[in-house]
Structure 1
Amino acid sequence: MAALEVDVTGRAGSFAISAQFRAAPGVTALFGRSGAGKSTILKMIAGTARPETGRISAGGRVFFDSEKRINLPPRARGIGFVFQEGRLFPHLSVRRNLTYARWAGGRAGPRALEEVAALLGLEEHLERHPGTLSGGERQRVAIGRALLADPQILLMDEPLSSLDRERRVEILPYLEAIANEARIPVLYVSHDTGEVARLADQVVAIDEGRVRAAGTAAEILGHSTGEEDRGLSILEGQVTDVDLNYETVTVETGGGTIELSARDLPAGSRVRLRLGAADVAIATTPHEGLSIRNQLWCTVQAVERRGNSAEVRLAFGGERITAHITAKSADALGLAPGMRVVALIKAVSVERARLLPRQP
């Protein structure tokens, strides 16, 4: 499937929409705070909201073109849409909900029901009705229904926002499985950095209806504007060693090796890691006799004062790490761009953000 090309203007409430981006097969996250215009952009792509000007296309198919006066109705766009709430038919079984587009809409896609049910862990629920399912199970059915409609593009509008934390933890592995085998462009709307770090191949940051930045998860999430997310570090690498006795693994990244606590990462697997800036300490030399397992040589790229604290951006080979320390500590260490330092990171502070598909 060809990439989705979006170049539109319009309005969302009190501010203007101006969005230009490209979404290749795989997961592209539209990321930004609530009310930034992400859902409006998704509706423009789906055809339920009309842009004022611009063009939306995928390969040789044009969904919208203001100059040529093309505006395909939603049903003609071949787009699957997963809403914040499942919107299932309560009187139909899970099986009939999943295959609704096929028996009611006459669509015949390449995916088998059994394949999608296995992907989403629904094999044992096919004869149940939505009223007997948990929130996470209902949302999995909604996702499966969209996949079995044989969409050319899949849109997901904050599909976890209506779920509690326990249900979110339940469904995230299934979304990760979809992300790892996506053959079509999947647009995933979220303001949650954890979801985006775990699922997205590419990230388009939206602020007040405009594209603020676009790039990889590591590039965009590392420069998040949210106070709680600022300085998030995203690293990717391959598992090179597994210690079954202590349930730790070693990951080779672009800058060197990092150890973390993990039980489910086999040797050879590719993984995305997440580091909180508050969990990164800085030293001018390596130290012995510490419980901290990761002592990583880095180069200071920038030191930004924020009142009584400092954000220190570090180059770790081809990767980037951000640390939050006090301004007093930054001055005491004499931190300045170009200086070689050691980033100290506890293995238990390194989070697995996503298990990535292996490269061919």
Structure 2
Amino acid sequence: MAIEARIRHNFRNFELDIDFESSKPVVGIFGASGSGKSTLLHCVAGFIRPLSAKISVNTRVVCNLPGGTWSAPERRQLAIVTQDSLLFPHLSTRGNLTYAPGGKDALESERGWKIVEVLRIKQLLERRANTLSGGEKQRVALGRALLSKPEMLLLDEPTSALDAELAREVMALLLEVKKELKVPMLFVTHKAGELMALADDCIVLEKGKIVAHGAPVNVLSRPRDIGVASLIGVDNLLRLRVVRHDEHGGVTILDLGGTELAAPLSTAEVGKSVGVGIYADEVMLCLEKPAGLSARNALPCRVVRIDAMEHEVLIRVSVGATELLARITPAAAEELNLQPESSAVAVIKTSACHLLG
């Protein structure tokens, strides 16, 4: 797949201003509610006519505004599946699959039966749509979209209206579609797990603008923007003052509650504050500083609160006036035997301190 999109459009209280291209099989569009994900997808689909845009799919220009090409949605050779399956409730599954012109021939073809097999909807063909479960409806909606032989499948949060079990089922089917049918996809989601599972490339939107673009594993494991970090669940989001840069050591020293914290070398101005994200499971707790430690940061701290769960223990500690959340195993918690007001040492690798914009 190759998609290129340069779009600018003003709404009443919102502006979409994006520019990206990708040749990966599945491109994820990731962001919080209201970030512009669905708006971007609808521009690509042709449901919204932007003020200014150039959109091409596999080098075929479907939109070049103002003044140039504008292909209507039905001429773009794209298919969209939304969170609402939008089936005709009075028709059977077969009737929904074959409703469009040429649908019957498409279903009876070798590829059509492969789609039925991959999506596991053969046993649903004679059932009315209004008798299907939410997961079954999404499977039928996917089948209908795929039978149209789209150049690209547009997915607008197809699991958001489903419970966790059905959402996992639909994701498994999408992975099968990717593997067996090799249909390119542009995939909207606000769930980091779905992005990691399905997408080969991703863009992250915030307030109508792209704040990150790259492989999902890179974007999610090394966030560079505080909005992205918050969205993907970075547990500790801090604003810390830059104390100095150590170019020889490759670190930037930050002020964490009166204690120095070493982070990867940055170009931030000394004296200015920068965003820092630290995952809770990257904060190790010890009773005292370990000997021969390679990690630069061993921070004396005090236990503020302990929340024990079945498979993990969350411990909130204070380093001076700043609080950090650590996530450890029940076995580690039992060995440490920490209590509120206990003294400890928080060990954090320099590489675990993600500098954010």
The CA deviation at 1:58 is 1.8
Residue equivalent to 1:322:
none
Which of 260, 277, 280 is the equivalent residue of 1:278? 280
CA distance in structure 2 between the aligned counterparts of 1:310 and 1:16, rounded to whole angstroms: 36
Residue equivalent to 1:131:
130
CA distance in structure 2 between the aligned counterparts of 1:110 and 1:56, rounded to whole angstroms: 32
- Structure 1 stretch displaced more, 191-200 or 98-107: 98-107
CA distance in structure 2 between the aligned counterparts of 1:299 and 1:90, rounded to whole angstroms: 60
Q: Is the 8 A contact 1:93 1:127 kept in 2?
A: yes
Q: How many residue pairs align between the two structures?
A: 267
**TM-score of the aligned structures, taking structure 2 as reference length:** 0.65
Residue 161 of structure 1 aligns to a residue whose secondary structure is coil
The CA deviation at 1:154 is 0.9
Residue equivalent to 2:144:
145
Q: Does 1:229 align with 2:233?
A: yes
Letter in 2 for 1:162: A
Q: Is the 8 A contact 2:77 2:152 kept in 1?
A: yes
Q: Is the 8 A contact 1:136 1:163 kept in 2?
A: yes
CA distance in structure 1 between the aligned counterparts of 2:171 and 2:8, rounded to whole angstroms: 33
Letter in 2 for 1:131: N
Q: Is the 8 A contact 1:12 1:40 kept in 2?
A: no
- Structure 1 stretch displaced more, 194-203 or 222-231: 222-231
Q: Is the 8 A contact 1:23 1:185 kept in 2?
A: no
Letter in 1 for 2:211: R
Residue equivalent to 1:255:
none
Percent sequence identity over aligned pairs? 32
- Structure 1 stretch displaced more, 219-228 or 130-139: 219-228
The CA deviation at 1:23 is 3.4
Residue 163 of structure 1 aligns to a residue whose secondary structure is coil
- Go from structure 1 to structure 2 and tell me whether the alpha carbon gap of 1:298 and 1:91 turns closer, same or farther (over 3 Å shift): farther
Residue 225 of structure 1 aligns to a residue whose secondary structure is helix
Letter in 2 for 1:225: A
Letter in 1 for 2:230: G
Letter in 2 for 1:142: A
Residue equivalent to 2:337:
none
Structure 2 spans left out of the alignment, 5+ residues: 237-277, 287-292, 300-318, 328-340, 353-357
CA displacement 1:146-166 (0-9 Å, x = unmatched): 011000111111111112223
CA distance in structure 1 between the aligned counterparts of 2:231 and 2:132, rounded to whole angstroms: 36
Q: Is the 8 A contact 2:98 2:104 kept in 1?
A: no
Residue equivalent to 2:91:
92
Letter in 1 for 2:284: I
Residue 211 of structure 2 aligns to a residue whose secondary structure is strand
Letter in 2 for 1:226: S
Letter in 1 for 2:194: E
Letter in 2 for 1:195: E
Q: Is the 8 A contact 2:281 2:326 kept in 1?
A: no
Residue equivalent to 1:307:
322
Residue 160 of structure 1 aligns to a residue whose secondary structure is coil
CA distance in structure 2 between the aligned counterparts of 1:113 and 1:55, rounded to whole angstroms: 33
CA displacement 1:240-259 (0-9 Å, x = unmatched): xxxxxxxxxxxxxxxxxxxx
CA distance in structure 1 between the aligned counterparts of 2:60 and 2:151, rounded to whole angstroms: 10
Residue equivalent to 2:17:
18
CA displacement 1:15-56 (0-9 Å, x = unmatched): 210111223352211100001111111111011101111200
Residue equivalent to 2:77:
78
Letter in 1 for 2:27: T
The CA deviation at 1:169 is 2.8
CA distance in structure 1 between the aligned counterparts of 2:98 and 2:166, rounded to whole angstroms: 24
Residue 137 of structure 2 aligns to a residue whose secondary structure is helix
The CA deviation at 1:172 is 2.1
- Go from structure 1 to structure 2 and tell me whether the alpha carbon gap of 1:136 and 1:173 turns closer, same or farther (over 3 Å shift): same
- Go from structure 1 to structure 2 and tell me whether the alpha carbon gap of 1:300 and 1:217 turns closer, same or farther (over 3 Å shift): farther
Residue equivalent to 1:7:
6
CA distance in structure 1 between the aligned counterparts of 2:52 and 2:109, rounded to whole angstroms: 35
CA distance in structure 2 between the aligned counterparts of 1:165 and 1:336, rounded to whole angstroms: 34
Q: Is the 8 A contact 2:89 2:128 kept in 1?
A: yes
- Go from structure 1 to structure 2 and tell me whether the alpha carbon gap of 1:329 and 1:229 turns closer, same or farther (over 3 Å shift): farther
CA distance in structure 2 between the aligned counterparts of 1:330 and 1:9, rounded to whole angstroms: 54
Q: Is the 8 A contact 2:83 2:156 kept in 1?
A: yes
Residue equivalent to 1:58:
57
Q: Is the 8 A contact 1:56 1:64 kept in 2?
A: yes
Residue equivalent to 1:324:
none
Residue equivalent to 1:319:
none
The CA deviation at 1:283 is 7.4
The CA deviation at 1:279 is 4.0
The CA deviation at 1:8 is 0.9
Residue 168 of structure 1 aligns to a residue whose secondary structure is helix
Letter in 2 for 1:308: E
The CA deviation at 1:99 is 2.9
RMSD, matched Cα? 3.6
CA displacement 1:75-119 (0-9 Å, x = unmatched): 110010101111111222212212333536987998622101111
CA distance in structure 2 between the aligned counterparts of 1:214 and 1:195, rounded to whole angstroms: 16
**TM-score of the aligned structures, taking structure 1 as reference length:** 0.64
Residue equivalent to 1:262:
none
Bigger helix fraction: 2
Residue equivalent to 2:195:
196
Q: Is the 8 A contact 1:102 1:149 kept in 2?
A: no
Residue equivalent to 2:350:
337
